[in-house]
Amino acid sequence: MTGDLQTLRNFLLRPRIDLSPWPAERLWLPVSGGDQLAARLHARDRLGERPLVVLIHGLSGCEDSIYIRASARFWLSLGHPVLRLNLRGSQPSRPRCRGHYHGGRSEDPQSALDALVSRERSAARQGLILVGYSLGGNVLIKLLAEAGRRLPVRAAASVSAPIDLEATSERFHAPRNRLYLRWLLTLLKREAVAPPAELSAAERRAIAEARTVREFDDRFIAPRFGFADAGDYYRRCSGLRFLPEVEVPFAALHADDDPWIPDDAYAEAARIANANLRIHVTDGGGHVGFHGQGDPRPWHDRAIEAFVRAAG
């Protein structure tokens, strides 16, 4: 139960994360097909003075997810500018997105960051620190393998990333997770059909009729993005297969009591011969939890900051 309590802590307590000391401005960053990703940029005046920290949310999350706001406050309090980036089709991006994201659509944050660095040239002077949470962490790993050196990335990290999507799907659909499954599927469906999403009648029917997340991936995500089925999508987009190609300092943080993501893929990741990788599996922490007593800052924020400092 400890892992579940860590996972549910923010949902149950709904802590208020005050970011008002660091006013943010709305940015719209272009991606393919005419869509734009919404983002919140805090402390623009610090661009060029300290590395810009970019935070990428997980499945059905957004810039206002509590873990994103908590991390934003952590990094802002250390003097960094922060960008809270929303994926394509998430609630803040949806007004200017007809399309949708998935666990391997790394070209979207890549395009958005390209546009940001081009627009805010001072951001490149001190470089970027990229942090991805849950599914956003998987997207980030693929991005780093494809474009990590082309972008001015100083260091990066993932928190509770499902680096083996097939194994994560199996674990998530276990009977013990049925309440999680029902909750997440409801959010996924609502997000996918929100206007102005561009969907065919068949896609709307597939979304409505999906009874599991795997069915949602098999009947909507896979055909929409050219995968043979959910299994093909999971195989081709799992972060584990991209870790050998990461060419920047990268830390992957995971808890052994995560109720959704099994440990096996992280044990395999730890055996990869890539000096840029640091794989850290803790004895507890749940899924994007890592809450402790005596410090309101989640352990993962403190661990990533220490990793970034060590990486130089």
Exactly one of 217, 258, 291, 300 is catalytic; name it.
258
Rounded distance, CA 34 to CA 30, Å?
A: 7
User: Amino acid letter at 273?
Assistant: A
Q: Is 287 a catalytic residue?
A: yes
Q: By C-alpha distance, which of 207, 200, 197, 198 is closest to 94? A: 197
DSSP 8-state class, residue 50: B
- pLDDT attached to residue 290: 93
CB atoms within 10 A of CB 308: 21
- pLDDT attached to residue 1: 54
Q: Compute the C-alpha angle 183/279/82, nearest 5°.
A: 65
Q: For the chain, what percent of residues have pLDDT higher than 70?
A: 99
pTM metric for this prediction:
0.97
Long-range contacts for 22-28 (Cβ within 8 Å, ≥24 apart)? Answer: 22/72, 22/76, 22/82, 24/84, 27/83, 27/116, 28/96
Q: Under the phi-then-psi rule, with left for phi > 0, alpha for psi from -120 to 50, and beta for the rest, what region is 160?
A: left
pLDDT level of residue 296 (50, 70, 90 thresholds):
confident
List the domains of the chain with CATH numbers: 2-172+240-311 (3.40.50.1820)
Instruction: State the chain's mean pLDDT as an integer.
Output: 95
Burial 21-46 (b: 16+ CB within 10 A, else e): ebebeebebebeeebbbbbbbbbbeb
Exactly one of 57, 80, 287, 291 is catalytic; name it.
287
Rounded distance, CA 115 to CA 113, Å?
A: 5
Residue 268 pLDDT exceeds 90 = yes
Both structure tokens of 178: 């049925």
Both structure tokens of 238: 């799992």
- pLDDT attached to residue 9: 84
Exactly one of 60, 93, 111, 134 is catalytic; name it.
134
- pLDDT attached to residue 272: 97
Tokens 């060029």 belong to 48
Q: Under the phi-then-psi rule, with left for phi > 0, alpha for psi from -120 to 50, and beta for the rest, what region is 100?
A: beta
* E strand or H helix at 299: helix 299-311
Phi, psi at 158, each rounded to 5°? -125, 150
- pLDDT attached to residue 294: 76
Q: Is 258 a catalytic residue?
A: yes
pLDDT level of residue 11 (50, 70, 90 thresholds):
confident
Tokens 């093909």 belong to 232
pLDDT level of residue 149 (50, 70, 90 thresholds):
confident
Q: Which residues contact 72 (CB under 8 A, 6 or more apart)?
A: 17, 19, 22, 42, 53, 55, 82, 84
